[in-house]
Structure formats: structure tokens, C-alpha cells
Amino acid sequence: MQTNSSKKTFWPYGILLSIGAIVVACVATVIFSLDYPVHMDSFYLESYDKVDRNYNEIQKSQAKFESKFDVALLPKDINLNKKSEADIKIVSKTAENLPNLTSEILLTRPETNEFDKKLDAKFENGVLKTQEFSVTKKGRWQLLVKLSDGDSTAFYKFELLAI
């Protein structure tokens, strides 16, 4: 009887390849996450750590503000390399006076902080009008707004499309 000792088995190589693929995937995940760190998320116009520590208070304050005011972006076209402004309509559900509100406004692109612009704004007849701005790239832009009446604070994100 002759034994076939030259028979090859490839399953150990498959296991080694699988382990190698997992290691490569882990390294790729770390590299990509370093390019897009969480602390750069600017929705709340604060550092990630501060938001993380005070998230419940932020949500309570948001609900309290929304019980007093309705906020909406008035539609406007944003054109590439032309002066534009954003109008945000704020309607009081109570008899509170709107000029007591303070605002912080950031114009940004969702995928990068490279084009961030802080905008000044003023109230005119229940409308918060931003200073004029111009965008230099086509595509999605976001208007991040922080409104406060001294007692409560709310955060809003409005999508804009530059054409």
C-alpha cells in the first residue's frame, strides 16, 4: 500500500489570510478615524467633551426653548461666489421679546471645517438676518445656529445648497 503524503491542505492558509485581513481592516479603521476625529463635530458649537458632560442639560434646555419659540429658515438661493444672506424666522409662542435673544451662527461644510465662517446676525421684525457671505464651493453647506434667551438655549442645523 502506498500512502499519499504529498496531499496539500490549504485551510491553514485560509485562516492565516483571514487573520491578516482582520488586522489590515483594524489598521485602516484607525487611520480613517484619525482623519475624521469626533471632537471636530461642531453641531453644538462647543467641544465634544463639554457636550458629552452636559448632554442631558442641553436637551432639557432645547425642549424649554422650543416650548417658547418656533424657528425656521426662510428659503433663499445660495449662489456660488455671489453675496448671499440667510434669514431665520423666529416666532414667539409667548409674549417674550425677540431682541433679548442672542445668537451664534456658523456656516460650514458637512465634511470639513476648512471653510467654516462665523456669521454675525441682527434681528429685524422677528427675522434673524445674517451678515452677507459668499461660498466658494458647490454643494452642501450647513448653517449651524445657537439661540439663547438667557434662560434656555437651542441648537439648529439648516441645510443649504450652493449652485
Assess whether 52 and 124 both reside in one domain: yes
Residue 22 has pLDDT above 90, yes or no: yes
**140 compared with 25, residue with greater pLDDT:** 25
Structural contact between residues 163 and 91, judged by C-beta atoms closer than 8 angstroms: no
User: CB atoms < 10 A from the CB of 123, how many?
Assistant: 16
Residues 60 and 132 in one domain: yes
The 10s digit of each residue's pLDDT in 60-86 is 999 999 999 999 999 877 888 889 899
Residue keyed to cell 465634511? 111
pLDDT at 158 over 80: yes
- Asked if residue 110 and residue 34 are part of one domain, the reply reads no
Same domain? 94 vs 31: no
Same domain, 89 and 139: yes
How far apart (Å, rounded) are the C-alpha atoms in residues 56 and 59? 5
Dihedral of CA atoms 87, 91, 95, 99 in degrees, nearest 10, equals -10
Q: What pLDDT shows up at residue 97? A: 67
Domain match, 144 and 109 both: yes
What would the pLDDT profile of 30-67 be if each residue is shown by its tens digit? 998 887 766 656 788 887 888 889 999 999 999 999 99
Same domain, 90 and 143: yes
How many domains in the chain?
2
Q: Which helix (H) or strand (E) segment is 87 a member of?
A: strand 87-92
Task: Check whether residue 46 and residue 14 sit in a common domain.
Answer: no
What's the CATH number where 140 sits? 2.60.40.10
